[in-house]
Amino acid sequence: MQGGSKRTALAAGICALCTPLAATPLSAQTQDGGSDLASESGDAASLLLSAPAASVPPPPEEPDKPAVKTRVLFSQFADMPVSGDAAETLRYGGKIDAYFDVAGSTLGVDDSWSLHIHPEFKYGESANGEIGLLPSNTQMFYPGEGEVFDLNVNVTKRWQSGTSLTVGKVNVLDLAAQLPVVGGGGHEGFQNLAMALPPSAIVPGSITGALLNVPTKKALYRLWVFDPDLQSERTGFETGFESGVAFLGSVTLPVKIGGKPGYYALKMAGSTRSEIAAEALPPALVPAPGSAFGGRKGEFSAVLAGYQFIELYPEAPGKGWGIFGQIYVSNGDPTFLDKSGFIGFSGNPRSRPQDRFGAAWFRYSLTDRLVDVLSGRLALEDEEGVEYFYTLGLSDQFSVTANVQVVDSAVAARDAGVLAGLRLTAKF
């Protein structure tokens, strides 16, 4: 399960931790994710209710807001298995993401409208699929194998109440990057798909549809309707909902414990799909046509997630540390994940608030019925592991991260493996 299994990773699904749903294991390419809240700057509680999703630009009332806002993230990765069955091969690759937010007035309409354009390019190699099924490097898993370019374009209408509606092709990783405490997306923070874009096997990592966000004084509500097929390397119009219709809904509540902000979310996702999401899995995990798995119509999953700050530093606004976790369950067939969970902590050291650290444990389970169908081909079990990282902030633009992952693969014949890596990230 190497090579083609780099698409590996049970990664599929629901990446919307703090947003609607959070986590979609299996093919990171099909995760539904999202972020409910906030970036690390500013008051986290107010951000929860006012901050727009990654694809939504800031409120139009800003007097000197530029006509086009531009941001670029460029990460270079080097990783190598240092223990286990995989060969100790050093691999290098990189990922460039550019973000352009165009004000409506530039397009001849008012600034309650905005256009979001996100080109991305990936090159090189990674150790994805070498020690586990879940991708160990989320950014090097998307948007596909090898040297790949993809483009996401969507339009947002924003009302004075804060409610927004986004329509078009959306990269869910953009939303995961906004999650409080844990962060996400893979350019910063955790790299393993388990935490960077928690899979659910229902919501793809790139979706085409309509995303409604409704902030109120007491909660943030989200409702998404989208094509369940993965939209990476597509325009978003090729399949036209031919596999069915998917939805994701969530409610996120801000809660203070000990005077520190926390965010707790209930997320639900489902679709009318009547077949396994084969594009999110390596070929070895796709049942043969006519098998006893993948024929039931409709799927459903639920996630309970929490993000709680333990300490915030008054001398460094927006900096601190906290704990996070989630539990995911689905009704199984045709969803290839049936349950998962993770727990961890992450934040900034007080003595160096420009740095960041984190550690987390995860466990993911393939649906029992799928495991039974594949038992004659491949012996499978739950996959679990831990990830540790420390990011050294070199300047406002540059950071370097050391990352170690220990994974007991879902492939029963594999020994537990250890992966070590470095990531250099530039922001412009």
Asked whether residue 419 is domain-assigned, the answer is no
User: What is the band of 292 on the pLDDT scale with cuts at 50, 70, 90?
Assistant: confident
| Domain assignment present for 416 | no
Residue-level pLDDT at 247:
97
Domain assignment present for residue 103? The answer is no
- pLDDT tens for 350-381 read 999 999 999 999 999 999 999 999 998 899 99
Determine contact, residues 19/36, Cβ cutoff 8 Å. Answer: yes
155, part of any domain:
yes
> Quick one: pLDDT at residue 47?
33
Give residue for tokens 């994940």.
337
Q: Which domain holds residue 216?
A: 3-54+127-394
Among 28-32, 185-189, 283-287, where is mean pLDDT lowest? 28-32
Mean pLDDT of 8-31: 36
Beta strands in 193-278 (DSSP E): 206-215, 220-226, 246-257, 260-271
pLDDT at 15: 38
pLDDT digits (tens, 9 = 90+) for 93-133: 999 999 999 999 999 999 999 999 999 999 999 999 999 99
Work out the pLDDT band at 63, boundaries 50, 70, 90. low
Flag whether pLDDT at 49 surpasses 60: no
Residue of 185, 226, 220 lying closest to 75 (CA atoms): 185
Q: Is 304 helix (H, G, I), strand (E, B) or coil?
A: strand
The predicted-structure confidence for 312-348, as pLDDT tens digits, reads as follows: 999 999 999 999 999 999 998 999 999 999 999 999 9
Tokens 């370097």: give the residue: 400
Burial class (CB in 10 A: 0-12, 13-18, 19+), 362: buried
- Residue at 146 is within a domain: yes
| Structure tokens given for 10 | 């049970």
Listed in sequence order, the residues at least 6 apart from 193 whose beta carbon sits closer than 8 Å to its beta carbon are 9, 11, 25, 28, 31, 134, 135, 136, 138, 141, 199
Q: What is the mean pLDDT of the chain?
A: 85
pTM: 0.85
Is residue 60 one of the residues assigned to a domain? no
Residue 276 pLDDT class (50, 70, 90 cuts): confident
Specify the number of domains making up the chain. 1
How high is the pLDDT of residue 231? 92
pLDDT at 359: 98
How high is the pLDDT of residue 284? 79
pLDDT at 64: 63
* Residue whose entry in the numeric block shows the structure tokens 């922001």: 427
Domain annotation covers residue 78 = no
In a domain, residue 82? The reply is no
Q: What is the pLDDT of residue 7?
A: 39
Q: What is the CA radius of gyration of the chain?
A: 20
> What tokens does 213 get?
């966000």
Tell me: pLDDT of 53 over 60.
Answer: no
Residue 274 pLDDT more than 70? yes
Return the minimum-mean-pLDDT range out of 101-110, 228-237, 297-306, 398-407: 228-237
CB atoms within 10 A of CB 211: 26
